[in-house]
Chain A
Amino acid sequence: MKKVLLALLIVTMVVGGAYAQKVYRVGVSMPSATHGWMGNANWWANRAKTDWEKRDKTVQIELKFSGNVNQQVADIEDLLVKKVDALVVFPHDTSVTSIVEKAFNQGVYVVVLDRGVSKEGIYDIYITNDDEAYTRKGMEWLAKQMGYKGNLLLITGIPSPIDTIRTDTIKEVVKKYPNIKLLDVQPGDWNRQKSLTVMENYLQKYKQIDAVYTADDDMMLGAMQAYKESGRKDIKYFLGGGCLKSVIKEIMDDSNPLVKADVTYSPSVIATSISYAVIGVKGEKLNPNVYQVRALPRRIILPSELVTRENAKDFYVPEAPF
């Protein structure tokens, strides 16, 4: 159906020639959903597509989800064959640099997310979440709750540059408070099941634990499961991140004594990027109230915010999948 429509559109474009409006085609390439957060990001991408295509008939958005970086490069190549006007890339890793550069040099309007490319000046806009603030805000909050003392355990994500920044930030904050003891750091691979196993081992190994910090909410749920099964009563705080819907709900309703806060690392960053790509490729300007240059900014760092009971409802998106 979609194909027929597409073909029809192309025909209209060719035949309609002069009076056909310019159609802006935006290609989006991002990882497929392998964990909750990315699942949310996929959902946001779809939402941006639906919203834009409803709002503006001159916009067409094509989404490509890929399981690995080789596939992602192939996807981008395919999008270039299809002659997209703008390209949004949420990279698996920096291996996409050369293909992104190729797209940019072909005159495609390029929006890159996160620390995805290893070269400057090959994109129009660069958007990222603030990985450093993400754990800094979280850790500062946690330290305060702990009364700046006690035993802390850490479960990190898949070993990767992003993960290293986050973990290093946590360690840096902990160092400021000599009475907080970081007992152990183990990877939970952004995977609930792996995190559960890691937590089970922790519980065997450490007799007194005060707080557990996991690199995202998925892993926090796994760790908390292990803790509940153990029947122990020593842990006072669990902190994850990334704002899973169920976790935000718990914070909002204050229904879980162990979970009192979360930190945003918004999966909607992809939707934001798509919007910027559309605005950018159409050559539209920013709101005139801005005193600066009114073209879009080249580098955007989205803030990480601490979510507590007071502001949780602002971050609760009931229709999001996770």
Chain B
Amino acid sequence: MSATTAKKIDLEKYGALIALGALFVLASIIGWPYFIRPENLVNVMRQSSYTGIIALGMTFVIISGGIDLSVGAVAAFVASCGVLFMNWVLQATGGNEVLAILGGVSVMIALGFVTGALNGLLITKGKIVPFIVTLGTMSIFRYLSLQMANAGEFASQSQLYGTFGMSKIFEFTVGDQAVSLPVPVFTMLALAAILAFLLDNTRYGRYLCAVGSNARVAQYSAVRIDRVRFWAYAINGMCVGASAALLAARFNTVSTPNFGLGSELDAIAATIIGGTAMAGGRGSIWGTIIGVFMLQFIQNMLNMAGLSPYLQGVVKGIVIIGSVYIQKQRQ
């Protein structure tokens, strides 16, 4: 009995990882010889990381039984404000770039928190369902950014910020090629470690699952459900802020109509592929990371094989439905 149980749990735990491994092999074959190149793998990881960071916060929100459609718009809004602030600091201090970047990034994360908190308050105190609230704030923040920039873009005046966006750490060499971890990838993995730990080892994480599973039971069990939900959105907001800061640095500019466009759906897709239940109550941070990588692997491998982007979209849709179907079958 216990032996079979142990086996089952292992499959549940590592199934997604095995799938990712299989996909990696498949991608190496289909995307031969480009996919497997270290340079490409670094690219793929970096490409995943911006949505990935948002997906981490989204995982918390979805576990709590909610949804956040506003993340892409919020990213554009906070990035716009952050770059404006950065440019202002540059002028005020006569070109102190380090101070400007620190200030700008802080503003983005803080504003991310504020917007997340706004969503959280409307949902918990206003008693409006998350879908509606975030649908509303999605529109509000997207158009607020468009209004601010007159649908144009905010270019950062700091060259260093752009350099920061492309910077890497932990450089080492594979064969004759230098490989290193881009800062956004590092940030994503570090955040994932923190959030996964939070989810598994703290009261808050436990309460989050309880609220998502059955809010009434949680309420009767003396869990302050409003507070738990509020923080899910606030944490998500901070993740969005961090992602926006990194993405803005990558481009060193914020184009208000395009920045973060559609990232809410990618983040939700990655979260769901990672095994988090749409209905809430159950989810995994590392699963989400795997989901993010899977989506990007598939996209990259098909791109390398020269498949049209329209068909890539078709494959992506099939993968989303298929992975959830497999998870259902396993239960």
A residues touching B (Cβ–Cβ < 8 Å)? 2-3, 6-7, 10, 32, 62, 64-71, 73-75, 77-78, 80-82, 92-98, 102, 118, 158-161, 163-164
Q: Which of A2, A77, A102 has the most CB of B within 10 A?
A: A77
Interface 9-residue window, one of B11-19, B130-138, B245-253: B245-253
Q: Is the CB of A77 within 8 A of B258?
A: no
Given A78-B300, A82-B34, check contact A93 B43 (CB 8 Å).
no
For residue A67, which residues in chain B have a CB less than 8 angstroms away from its CB? 262, 309, 313
Q: Is the CB of B257 within 8 A of A160?
A: yes
For residue A95, which residues in chain B have a CB less than 8 angstroms away from its CB? 153, 251, 253, 255, 258-259
Interface on chain A toward B: helix, strand, loop, or mixed SS?
A: helix
B residues touching A (Cβ–Cβ < 8 Å)? 32-34, 37, 39-40, 43, 47, 50-51, 146, 150-153, 155, 162, 165-166, 247, 250-253, 255, 257-259, 261-263, 299-300, 303-306, 308-310, 313
For residue A7, which residues in chain B have a CB less than 8 angstroms away from its CB? 32
Report the minimal beta-carbon distance from A190 to chain B, rounded to whole angstroms: 12
The 9 closest A-B pairs by CB, nearest first: A159-B151, A95-B251, A93-B255, A81-B40, A77-B43, A74-B47, A69-B258, A65-B309, A161-B152
For residue A75, which residues in chain B have a CB less than 8 angstroms away from its CB? 303
Q: Is the CB of B258 within 8 A of A81?
A: no
Q: Is the CB of B303 within 8 A of A78?
A: yes
For residue B252, which residues in chain A have a CB less than 8 angstroms away from its CB? 97-98
Contact of A64 among B34, B262, B303 (CB under 8 A): B303
Give Cα A95 to B162, complex, Å: 11
Q: Is the CB of A158 within 8 A of B165?
A: no
Give Cα A93 to B313, complex, Å: 22
Give Cα A164 to B299, complex, Å: 34
Chain A: which residue is nearest B152 at the CB level? A161
Give Cα A64 to B310, complex, Å: 11
Give Cα A97 to B161, complex, Å: 14
Contact of B258 among A65, A74, A93 (CB under 8 A): A93
Given A81-B34, A94-B253, check contact A68 B304 (CB 8 Å).
no
Given A93-B255, A95-B258, check contact A160 B304 (CB 8 Å).
no
Contact of A78 among B32, B40, B247, B255 (CB under 8 A): B40
Q: Is the CB of A78 within 8 A of B309?
A: no
For residue B258, which residues in chain A have a CB less than 8 angstroms away from its CB? 68-69, 92-93, 95
Q: Is the CB of B309 within 8 A of A66?
A: yes
For residue A92, which residues in chain B have a CB less than 8 angstroms away from its CB? 255, 258
For residue B47, which residues in chain A have a CB less than 8 angstroms away from its CB? 70, 73-74, 77
Q: Is the CB of A161 within 8 A of B303?
A: no
For residue A64, which residues in chain B have a CB less than 8 angstroms away from its CB? 303, 309
Q: Is the CB of A2 within 8 A of B151?
A: no
For residue A73, which residues in chain B have a CB less than 8 angstroms away from its CB? 47, 250-251
For residue A68, which residues in chain B have a CB less than 8 angstroms away from its CB? 258, 261-262
Chain A: which residue is nearest B51 at the CB level? A70
Contact of A3 among B151, B162, B261, B306 (CB under 8 A): B306
Given A78-B34, A98-B165, A98-B250, check contact A159 B146 (CB 8 Å).
yes
